[in-house]
Amino acid sequence: MTPDVQLAETVRIQGRHVLATLIRTVGDLQLAEDAVQEAAIAALRTWPTSGVPHDPAAWLMVTARNKAYDMLRREAARPAKETAAGWLPGVSSASVEKEAIDMAEPSTVLDDDLLRLVFTCCHPALAREAQVALALRTLAGLDVAAIARAFLVPEATMAKRLVRARRKIAVAQIPYRVPSDAELPERLPAVLAVVHLIATEAHAPSSGDAVVRVDLEAEAVGLARLLGELMPGEAEVLSLLALLLFTSARRPARVDADGDPVLLADQDRARWDHAAIAEATNCLAEAVRRSGGVAGPYQLQAHLAACHSTAPSWPATDWPRIIALYDLAISVSRNPVLALNRAVAVGERDGAAAGLAALDRITALGGSALWHAARAEALRRLDKRDGARAELAIAVGLAPTEPERRLLARRLHDLRPES
């Protein structure tokens, strides 16, 4: 990291604490965001020459608070009917004037502010895509242009989405508070789903791409870590962190030198991040201890990811355990992709013919490149090369992304027809 990038990272990470507390004290998400943004710009302008202050968070807090009060004074000077709608419940401008931010606030209070922000961003009254955008904007501190790039939408679209979400928070008065223990079971899944979605939307930057892409996978891991610190008792939070760590640990081996995807079976496992896998293993063990024997959906997925990430090779993977885990997962959710993955595992445990039979029992995936590619692989192993070629040709046509299309086309090319 260059000093400039490091400085920007410090400002971004400290900024979210500052933002979370400022929202509570000024009661207005947009105003707090603007103030923190201005404080960050001021920091990046002055710190390189004046030096990084002893306590960067305190510096940012004081600066952002002053900017916010300036904005409020300007707002108050305008005629009443022009003032923006934007007060969060329970906060009046009078209380803002009275309440000074105590720099010595204990860290538990600051953590509570972050949790308030987490649950406000992920409130069920907001659309999922708005939750994701808000989480990346406020909790991860990404700017609108970066979020728009990450989700491949125009910046104006993303800006509009964020404006609408903030307006809904203000007008419908979505509260800025941590749910009670009784409410947590219904509120936590949305938070976990937002972080999981950010991870699964992660697009690895393709080679030679000059545009700096936001690393959504790293952002998701960072957010899961934050949730783990804020809610250390929640087993599913730890399971999600384990799942994301197991998956992201494989990243160095996921693309080849040409930027094409490499299947799990063919990945060079020496290139995986084994420190991350060890951390994930510890997280999962802790999650199991705290869950009291009842595995939540993320724990199930983390166990599956663990089977793959801790296996010495593809053939030496614990397929019976994987099949048992998929059986459990399928008993909760009838997602046909789970059945597809289970069928692939059956093929590894019992041979290609059994795998093919399991694949043929799945009827819902005729339009999926994955299903046709899995059939092609089973047929190839049974030396039915013409059948395999036909399936690969269909899969190439159905592949959703260009790198996947290239991968399938290469496999088709490498498979010679039966004589």
Partner 1 sequence: MAQYAMLLYYDADHYWTTDEEVKHSPEYAEFGQTAGAAGVLRGGQALHGPTMATTITVAGGKGGDVIVTDGPYAEAKEVLGGFYLVEAADLDEAIRWGSQIPAAWRGRVEVRPVFEMNDAGQPVG
* Span 277-336, contacts to partner 1 by CB under 8 A: none
CB of 57 to partner 1, least distance (A): 29
CB of 216 closer than 8 Å to CB of 150: yes
Per-residue x/- marks for partner 1, 1-40, CB under 8 A?
----------------------------------------
Distance between CA atoms of residues 129 and 342, nearest Å: 30
Distance between CA atoms of residues 15 and 42, nearest Å: 12
Q: Is 366 in the site for partner 1 (CB under 8 A)?
A: no
CB of 190 to partner 1, least distance (A): 13
Which residue lies nearer to partner 1 by CB, 54 or 81?
81
Side chain identity at residue 151, one-letter code:
F
CB of 120 closer than 8 Å to CB of 176: yes
Distance between CA atoms of residues 132 and 81, nearest Å: 32
CB of 90 to partner 1, least distance (A): 7
Which residue lies nearer to partner 1 by CB, 84 or 103?
84
Which residue lies nearer to partner 1 by CB, 79 or 367?
79
- Residue in this structure with the two tokens 């000074």, named with its chain if needed: 100
E strand or H helix at 373:
helix 369-381
- Residue 90, SS3? coil
CB of 80 to partner 1, least distance (A): 9
Q: Is 172 in the site for partner 1 (CB under 8 A)?
A: yes
Q: Is 171 in the site for partner 1 (CB under 8 A)?
A: yes
From the list 41-49, 172-180, 190-198, 280-288, the region that binds partner 1 by CB under 8 A is: 172-180
Query: Using N-to-C axis directions, what is the helix angle for 216-230 and 184-200, rounded to 10°?
Result: 160
- CA distance readout (Å), 310 to 270, 276, 277, 303, 321: 11, 11, 8, 10, 13
CB atoms within 10 A of CB 231: 18
Nearest to 121 by CA among 181, 224, 195, 68: 195
* Span 79-138, contacts to partner 1 by CB under 8 A: 81, 85, 87, 89-90, 123, 125
CB of 176 to partner 1, least distance (A): 9
CB of 171 to partner 1, least distance (A): 5
Region of 204 (left: φ > 0; alpha: ψ -120 to 50; beta: rest) is beta
Which residue lies nearer to partner 1 by CB, 177 or 269?
177
* Span 43-82, contacts to partner 1 by CB under 8 A: 81
Side chain identity at residue 276, one-letter code:
A
CB of 81 to partner 1, least distance (A): 6
Instruction: Write out the residues near partner 1 by the rule CB under 8 A.
Output: 81, 85, 87, 89-90, 123, 125, 171-175, 177
